């Protein structure tokens, strides 16, 4: 279809699609009010990508298709900030805030002034540079004077518009904001990491910092990063009488993501009231905050007040109390995860923290217990932020009761009694028995879980019921369930049994990537599963892959490659996979236009003699990657691959300015994307 469009038709269509996609990005990521399904958004984005592949000359950096671009880098260039990125002074109580307010009044010679109060987002500060409304550079704070250029990573944050629509107050404007994560996004990411046996992040702030430092933008795009903007700066802003409240309104009109519930107040009692109100709001917000930021509204006044070496005199952070509490450690139990990792858990005397009752906290691993010198019966300090798993951060040694017991890691699995092992250099003990009921149960849950085969009705409780009744011993058995076998179970009415069977039947058609993820191969998350599905196209092909085949794929490392090969070499796993096959679970990728084809829309002409392979073979490789091969050169040709002896076709390509590749360059391209 696209090939028949004229250039001007394509231009129009591309412009319309971009505008439409920008609008939906805004509705979804900034306003949180999506109007279309994710799948529909993806469909429109693919339509744009296809058109752009046909008309690469129309690609612009602000196109919604260009969020994840470029190759991984080896380091980030340093950038000097145009205005130092200062941090805020802190106050912790009313008296300290009164003192701050007194210094402001004094500094302004008792002129009247107002404050803007905002939430203090707990993330990582960034500075965004826009030129003529285009996002051109984003930097981290670094030491306040210079920071890292993390533009490519920031571009992946979908709430950040790559192009601003509002009138620009100056040619170059700087927007300051905080990159952070919602607690739910953070928790989901950690859940996935846990399933893959990867180390967990301690809190959203650390993992945000870690994400921005990743060298591969494609990996950053998979982290649930959010942006909230709270500052604007351009040359002459103070002289032109701007107010901070005006900046916030401008940011909003430019469709940048801001937190809209900021307040303008003109007396400090209002600040105290707000501080109390927002502290109560804290557990209900979807993200972490750690205080209220109070800023003098008039930017001319801000300039008059100036800054110390570290922080401005016109703003301060009025911090909330840390969400920590003390309670007694009643016991330490062990939890066996899906991949066999054994994690110690603190069983606590219930304590109220940040509006919820905490009864359990993670202890991470044995070394952590030793480091804290924890004894059962101790009084411990627990910290918690929102719905992050609470953790034990300290022990009150002076309050240790006489009978406090030292905790010793058992030698055997608490569930199946298998001897535990601790691989060299790792912090976790593992139960290596694949048949361990704890692992079996969790593996089946994982297989059926929403992000995997998505089998409705097959949650934790039902899995336990089926495993206990010995109806299923692994996820391969799920497909042998029948109404006759389910009905005798207690708590299994005919209707729910039928619904479960329908859900199971439906799951047979899940896309290949979900199936690969559902297998529960250590280290293989949904992102990797997607890549494997695309590269191998079927389970049968994946089974045949060697470690070398796997690591040849971009994004698949050695640990993952070995884990995949180990998985399929295991007899038991092979027989489970075979059960899935005989049950009719789909083992092949859908042959649809949805399959990413890196050379989609690219037209090649091959001429002259090629050495590494015949022209036919070269053509096959191109077609396998979604490209096409024609025999005559035209202005629509994307590349001419010319070997020795090339004649008229090469000449034509040069006349039409079509890119000419020699065999080496061609090989480089296809091996890089394959």
Q: Give the containing element (helix H, strand E) for 636.
A: none
Q: Rounded CA gap, 639 and 238, in Å? A: 53
End-to-end CA distance of the chain: 26
Q: Which stretch binds ligand IVH (CB under 6 A): 72-80, 216-224, 312-320, 629-637?
A: 312-320
Which residues from 79-108 bind ligand IVH, rule CB under 6 A?
86-88
Q: Which stretch binds ligand IVH (CB under 6 A): 113-121, 184-192, 196-204, 593-601?
A: 113-121
Q: Which stretch binds ligand IVH (CB under 6 A): 114-122, 132-140, 149-157, 553-561?
A: 114-122
Contact present, 243 and 299 (Cβ < 8 Å): yes
Q: Between residues 119 and 392, which has the closer beta carbon with respect to ligand IVH?
A: 119
Q: Provide, rounded to whole angstroms, the least separation between the CB of residue 130 and ligand IVH.
A: 18
At 603 the three-state DSSP class reads: strand
Q: Between residues 55 and 97, which has the closer beta carbon with respect to ligand IVH?
A: 97
Tokens of 195: 């399933």
Task: Please pick, among 120, 163, 295, 391, the residue that the annotation labels catalytic.
Answer: 120
Q: Rounded CA gap, 588 and 585, in Å? A: 9
Q: Provide, rounded to whole angstroms, the least separation between the CB of residue 115 and ligand IVH.
A: 12
Q: Provide, rounded to whole angstroms, the least separation between the CB of residue 310 and ligand IVH.
A: 9
Tokens of 453: 């085969």
230 in contact with ligand IVH (CB under 6 A) = yes
Q: Is 384 in the active site?
A: no
Q: Rounded CA gap, 666 and 638, in Å? A: 12
120 in contact with ligand IVH (CB under 6 A) = yes
At 620 the three-state DSSP class reads: helix
Torsion region of 36: left, alpha or beta (phi above 0 gives left; psi -120 to 50 gives alpha) = beta
Q: Rounded CA gap, 7 and 13, in Å? A: 10
Q: Rounded CA gap, 36 and 459, in Å? A: 28
User: Could you tell me where the DSSP H helices lie in 456-511?
Assistant: 460-468, 483-486, 494-507
- Name the closest residue to ligand IVH (Cβ): 125
DSSP string, 325-358: EEEEEEEEEEEE-TTSEEEEEEEEEEEEETTEEE
Q: Provide, rounded to whole angstroms, the least separation between the CB of residue 135 and ligand IVH.
A: 19
Q: Provide, rounded to whole angstroms, the least separation between the CB of residue 295 and ligand IVH.
A: 7
Q: Rounded CA gap, 124 and 87, in Å? A: 11
Q: What are phi and psi of 139, to 5 degrees?
A: -130, 150
Handedness of CA 268, 270, 276, 278 (dihedral sign): negative
Dihedral Cα 51, 56, 62, 67, nearest 10 deg: 80
Q: Between residues 125 and 564, which has the closer beta carbon with respect to ligand IVH?
A: 125
Handedness of CA 608, 611, 616, 620 (dihedral sign): negative
Which residues from 252-311 bind ligand IVH, rule CB under 6 A?
293
Number of residues that bind ligand IVH (CB under 6 A): 14
| Bridge partner residues of 345 (DSSP) | 333, 362
Q: Rounded CA gap, 143 and 309, in Å? A: 12
582 in contact with ligand IVH (CB under 6 A) = no
233 in contact with ligand IVH (CB under 6 A) = no
Q: Between residues 86 and 552, which has the closer beta carbon with respect to ligand IVH?
A: 86
Which residues from 177-206 bind ligand IVH, rule CB under 6 A?
178
Q: Between residues 120 and 621, which has the closer beta carbon with respect to ligand IVH?
A: 120
Q: Between residues 68 and 86, which has the closer beta carbon with respect to ligand IVH?
A: 86
Residue from 224, 312, 390, 601 in contact with ligand IVH (CB under 6 A): 312
Q: Provide, rounded to whole angstroms, the least separation between the CB of residue 300 and ligand IVH.
A: 16
Which residues from 121-160 bind ligand IVH, rule CB under 6 A?
121, 125
Q: Provide, rounded to whole angstroms, the least separation between the CB of residue 451 and ligand IVH.
A: 32
Cα 85 to Cα 127, 171, 311, 579, distances in angstroms? 8, 21, 9, 59
The radius of gyration computed from the CA coordinates of the chain, to the nearest angstrom, equals: 29
Three-class HEC string of 528-540: HHHHHHHHHCEHH
Contact present, 418 and 431 (Cβ < 8 Å): yes
Q: Between residues 289 and 431, which has the closer beta carbon with respect to ligand IVH?
A: 289
Tell me 322's DSSP state.
P
Q: Which stretch binds ligand IVH (CB under 6 A): 119-127, 129-137, 350-358, 601-609?
A: 119-127
At 126 the three-state DSSP class reads: strand
Residue from 117, 229, 315, 561 in contact with ligand IVH (CB under 6 A): 315
Q: Rounded CA gap, 161 and 633, in Å? A: 39
Q: Provide, rounded to whole angstroms, the least separation between the CB of residue 309 and ligand IVH.
A: 13
Closest to 69 (Cα-Cα) out of 132, 154, 140: 154
Contact present, 457 and 500 (Cβ < 8 Å): yes
Q: Between residues 142 and 414, which has the closer beta carbon with respect to ligand IVH?
A: 142
388 in contact with ligand IVH (CB under 6 A) = no
Q: Provide, rounded to whole angstroms, the least separation between the CB of residue 122 and ligand IVH.
A: 7
DSSP string, 609-635: --SSS-HHHHHHHHHHTT-EEESS--T
Q: Provide, rounded to whole angstroms, the least separation between the CB of residue 410 and ligand IVH.
A: 44
Q: Provide, rounded to whole angstroms, the least separation between the CB of residue 210 and ligand IVH.
A: 16
Name the burial class of residue 464, with classes exposed (0-12), middle (13-18) and buried (19+) by CB atoms within 10 angstroms of its CB. middle
Residue 316-335 contact track with ligand IVH, rule CB under 6 A, x = bound: -x------------------
Q: Between residues 83 and 656, which has the closer beta carbon with respect to ligand IVH?
A: 83
Residue from 101, 118, 383, 663 in contact with ligand IVH (CB under 6 A): 118
Q: Between residues 90 and 638, which has the closer beta carbon with respect to ligand IVH?
A: 90
Q: Provide, rounded to whole angstroms, the least separation between the CB of residue 276 and ligand IVH.
A: 18
Q: Between residues 315 and 524, which has the closer beta carbon with respect to ligand IVH?
A: 315
Q: Which stretch binds ligand IVH (CB under 6 A): 3-11, 118-126, 509-517, 551-559?
A: 118-126
Q: Between residues 88 and 150, which has the closer beta carbon with respect to ligand IVH?
A: 88
Tokens of 465: 């019921």
For binding to ligand IVH (CB under 6 A), which residues are involved?
86-88, 118, 120-121, 125, 178, 230-231, 293, 312, 315, 317
Active site residues: 120
């Amino acid at each position: 279809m696209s090939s028949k469009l004229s250039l001007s038709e394509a231009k129009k269509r591309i412009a319309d699609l971009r505008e439409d996609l920008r609008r939906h990005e805004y509705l979804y990521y900034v306003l949180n009010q999506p109007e279309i399904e994710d799948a529909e958004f993806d469909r429109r984005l693919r339509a744009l990508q296809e058109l752009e592949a046909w008309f690469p000359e129309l690609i612009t950096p602000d196109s919604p298709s260009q969020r994840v671009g470029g190759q991984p880098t080896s380091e980030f260039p340093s950038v000097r900030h145009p205005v130092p990125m200062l941090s805020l002074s802190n106050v912790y109580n009313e008296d300290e805030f009164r003192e701050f307010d007194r210094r402001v009044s004094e500094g302004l010679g008792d002129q009247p002034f107002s404050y803007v109060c905002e939430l203090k987002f707990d993330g990582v500060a960034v500075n965004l540079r826009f030129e003529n409304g285009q996002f051109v550079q984003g930097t981290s704070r670094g030491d306040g004077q210079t920071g890292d250029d993390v533009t490519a990573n920031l571009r992946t944050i979908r709430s950040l518009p790559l192009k601003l629509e509002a009138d620009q107050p100056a040619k170059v404007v700087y927007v300051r904001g905080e990159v952070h994560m919602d607690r739910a996004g953070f928790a989901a990411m950690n859940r996935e990491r846990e399933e893959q046996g990867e180390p967990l992040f301690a809190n959203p702030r650390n993992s945000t910092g870690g994400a921005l430092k990743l060298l591969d933008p494609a990996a950053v795009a998979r982290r649930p990063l959010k942006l909230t903007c709270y500052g604007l700066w351009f040359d002459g802003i103070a002289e032109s009488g701007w107010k901070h409240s005006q900046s916030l309104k401008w940011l909003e009109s430019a469709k940048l993501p801001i937190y809209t519930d900021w307040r303008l107040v003109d007396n400090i009692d209002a600040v105290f009231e707000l501080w109390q109100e927002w502290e109560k709001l804290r557990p209900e917000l979807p993200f972490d905050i750690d205080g209220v930021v109070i800023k003098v509204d008039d930017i001319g006044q801000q300039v008059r007040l100036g800054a110390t070496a570290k922080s401005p005199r016109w703003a301060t952070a009025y911090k909330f109390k840390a969400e920590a509490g003390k309670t007694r450690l009643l016991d330490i139990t062990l939890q066996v995860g899906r991949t066999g990792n054994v994690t110690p858990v603190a069983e606590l005397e219930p304590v109220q923290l940040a509006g919820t009752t905490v009864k359990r906290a993670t202890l991470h691993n044995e070394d952590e217990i030793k480091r804290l010198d924890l004894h059962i019966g101790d009084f411990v300090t627990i910290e918690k932020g929102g719905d992050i798993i609470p953790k034990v951060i300290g022990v009150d040694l002076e309050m240790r009761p006489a009978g406090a017991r030292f905790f010793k890691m058992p030698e055997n699995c608490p569930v199946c009694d298998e001897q535990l092992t601790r691989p060299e250099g790792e912090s976790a003990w593992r139960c290596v028995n694949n048949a361990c009921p704890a692992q079996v149960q969790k593996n089946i849950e994982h297989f059926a879980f929403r992000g995997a085969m998505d089998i409705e009705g097959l949650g934790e409780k039902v899995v336990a019921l089926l495993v206990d009744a010995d109806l299923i011993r692994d996820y391969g058995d799920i497909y042998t369930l029948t109404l006759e076998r389910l009905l005798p179970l207690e708590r299994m009415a005919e209707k729910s049994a039928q619904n479960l069977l329908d859900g199971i039947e439906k799951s047979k058609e899940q896309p290949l990537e979900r199936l690969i993820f559902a297998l529960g191969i250590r280290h293989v998350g949904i992102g990797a599963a997607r890549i494997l599905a695309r590269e191998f196209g079927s389970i049968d092909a994946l089974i045949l892959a060697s470690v070398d085949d796997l690591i040849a794929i971009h994004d698949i490392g050695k640990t993952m490659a070995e884990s995949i090969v180990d998985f399929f070499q295991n007899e038991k796993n092979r027989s489970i996979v075979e059960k899935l096959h005989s049950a009719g679970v789909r083992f092949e990728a859908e042959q649809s236009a949805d399959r990413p084809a890196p050379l989609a829309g690219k037209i090649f002409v091959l001429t002259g003699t090629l050495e590494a392979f015949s022209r036919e073979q070269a053509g096959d490789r191109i077609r396998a990657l979604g490209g096409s091969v024609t025999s005559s050169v035209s202005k629509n040709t994307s590349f001419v691959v010319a070997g020795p002896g090339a004649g008229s076709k090469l000449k034509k390509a040069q006349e039409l300015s079509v890119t000419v590749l020699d065999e080496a360059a061609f090989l480089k391209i296809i091996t890089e994307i394959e």
